[in-house]
């Protein structure tokens, strides 16, 4: 289910192999490791909402929608009148982006070279 969200948020994720997916999911798991249990329960509940809510609009769960319908559904969450739904969407989107762009290969492709010195490392 999470992979379908990642593929919708970052279409380039379609090209990931098994090892890259393992790395992506490991990064997300690591980022959630020390989060409070109430936040993790909320995330699981939100993922269930994302999976089953499209049934009412499209007649299918999220993982059985084509990319266009998945994108439209997520856009609806992003623009929801409910603060709770918008916060849930942005949290899920952030995890998808963290997992995809946090991978070593993605960082190389986009030219990201993190340095512990931050902006001090940039020559002016």
Asked whether 28 and 95 are in contact (CB, 8 A), the reply is: yes
Q: Is the dihedral of CA 54, 59, 63, 69 positive or negative?
A: negative
Is the pLDDT score of 114 beyond 70?
A: no
Whole-number Å distance between alpha carbons of 85 and 47: 11
Residues 21-72: tens digit of each pLDDT: 999 999 999 999 999 999 999 999 999 999 999 999 999 999 999 999 999 9
pLDDT at 113: 66
% pLDDT > 90, the chain: 81
Nearest C-alpha neighbor of 16 from the set 96, 124, 111, 122: 96
């Amino acid at each position: 289910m999470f992979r379908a969200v990642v593929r919708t948020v970052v279409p380039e994720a379609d090209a990931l192999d098994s090892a890259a997916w393992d790395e992506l999911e490991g990064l997300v798991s690591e980022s959630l490791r020390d989060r409070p249990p109430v936040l993790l329960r909320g995330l699981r509940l939100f993922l269930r909402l994302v999976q089953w809510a499209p049934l009412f609009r499209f007649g299918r769960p999220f993982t059985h929608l084509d990319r266009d319908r998945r994108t439209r559904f997520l856009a609806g969450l992003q623009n929801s009148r409910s603060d709770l739904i918008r916060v849930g969407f942005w949290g899920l989107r952030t995890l998808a982006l963290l997992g995809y762009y946090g991978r070593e290969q993605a960082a190389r492709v986009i030219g990201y070279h993190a340095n512990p010195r931050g902006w001090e490392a940039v020559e002016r």
